[in-house]
Amino acid sequence: MKKVTAYVNTMRVHWLVEELQAAGIGEIIVTEHFKPLSQISRIELLCEERMVRAVKSIVHRLGSTGGSPPDHDIVVSNHDPQRLQLLPMTTRLDELEESRLKQLITNIFAHFSKRLTLTFAMVVLSILSIALILHGRLETIQQTAEEANRNVWLITDATHQIEKAHLDQLLAAERLHRGDTQSALDQSARAQKRLAQAERVLINSHLYEQAVLDSLRVVEHDFRSVIEDMVTALTGLADAGKKNDAARVAHLSLSHADVMSKLDKLSLKSMQMLTTLEQRANDFWAEREAEATEALSTMKLLLLVLMATSIAVTLVMWLMARRKVSHPLQMIVEEGKTLDMEGLK
């Protein structure tokens, strides 16, 4: 008697055992060579010397998966009856059938855990990346809104200061007409202070070109010149009236009329300045609104991408589960139908 020990690919064991049994080999034991994730199984059997060649042929034919180099080996040795014999028939069948199922499950689910972990990692990374992008866009929208609110507040404050300065200049002119020179000068100084404050506010807003700021300085300077000319004209009229100098009174009256005309022109220029400021504020608000709308559109797109990614990953996981779980389980069920239940009992 000869003892044949063959090392073959685990996936070929089932067919190899059936072929050996069909050849008349009754004593066969199948064990795993490496546990628990073995791809190589060990087959032990006893046969007569005349059957060794046939056994070798069967092992070489069915024990290989066609790889290069060959993934099977066979060892033939003399059987020593004094040494431990093969397992009894009932145990042999139990070992064989248990090994077949265990090897089938082991090979079917090989690397499934790693693939599942990798899939989950990809899902987490995708969601995290999109969440970070969304967070960045939200921060941008928040900063844009804060900047817009700040600049709108600054522009509103500057506009109010210019309006108040314009009103103060008109009140100063009115008080000069009434002869309240000192109060008119104080009112004019207050107007100039308001214009200077409005200029600083506009500079801090960083919204207006230098030309707009220069125009505001020109208005401020013109207001100061008009008030000075008005004070000069009214003071001269008072002196000329006391001296009964009719010619000088007539001349100064013309100068006063010219000053009032300049004041009217400055009032119109102030209104134009206010219109320019309001228009620039409206343009700025429209720009920020467009940026916010674009950011919101980007966020919507990212959310759609996130939803599509989640659906795609879920589909991939479902297909993977079907391929790696559902289908293998069906194979196991079909394999279970081939078990020798009488032998297992």
CB 278 within 8 A of CB 142: no
Amino acid symbol at 264:
D
- pLDDT value at position 13? 78
- Quote the pLDDT of residue 91: 39
Strand partners, 74: 6
Name the pTM for this structure.
0.42
Pairing of strands 2-9, 28-32: unpaired
Give CA–CA dist 1/79, Å, rounded. Answer: 6
pLDDT of residue 231: 65
Q: What are phi and psi of 74, to 5 degrees?
A: -145, 140
Can you list the residues of the chain whose pLDDT is less than 50?
35-36, 84-96, 249, 339-345
- pLDDT the model gives residue 86: 46
Q: Each residue of 115-141: b (16+ CB within 10 Å) or e?
A: eeeeeeeebeebeeebeeeeeebeeeb
Distance CA 304, CA 185 (A): 66
Q: Which residues contact 343 (CB under 8 A, 6 or more apart)?
A: 89, 90, 93, 94, 97
Phi-psi bin for 24: left (phi > 0), alpha (psi -120 to 50), beta?
Answer: left
- Alpha-carbon distance 199 to 218, whole Å? 11
Which token pair is 329? 């389980």
| pLDDT tens, position by position, 159-217 | 777 778 778 877 777 776 666 767 777 877 787 788 777 777 777 666 666 666 666 66
Domain segments of the chain as ranges: 2-110, 118-326
Q: What integer pLDDT is reported at residue 110 of this predicted model?
A: 58
CA distances from 51 to 16, 55, 57 (A): 15, 6, 10
CATH 3.30.70.120 fits 2-110, yes or no: yes
Distance CA 193, CA 201 (A): 12
Task: Output the pLDDT for position 283.
Answer: 75
Q: Structure tokens of 49?
A: 């010397």
d(Cα 43, Cα 29) in Å, to the nearest integer? 6
pLDDT at 343: 43
Q: What is the pLDDT of residue 209?
A: 64
Question: How high is the pLDDT of residue 172?
Answer: 75
- The beta-strand segments (E) located in the chain are 2-9, 28-32, 40-47, 73-78
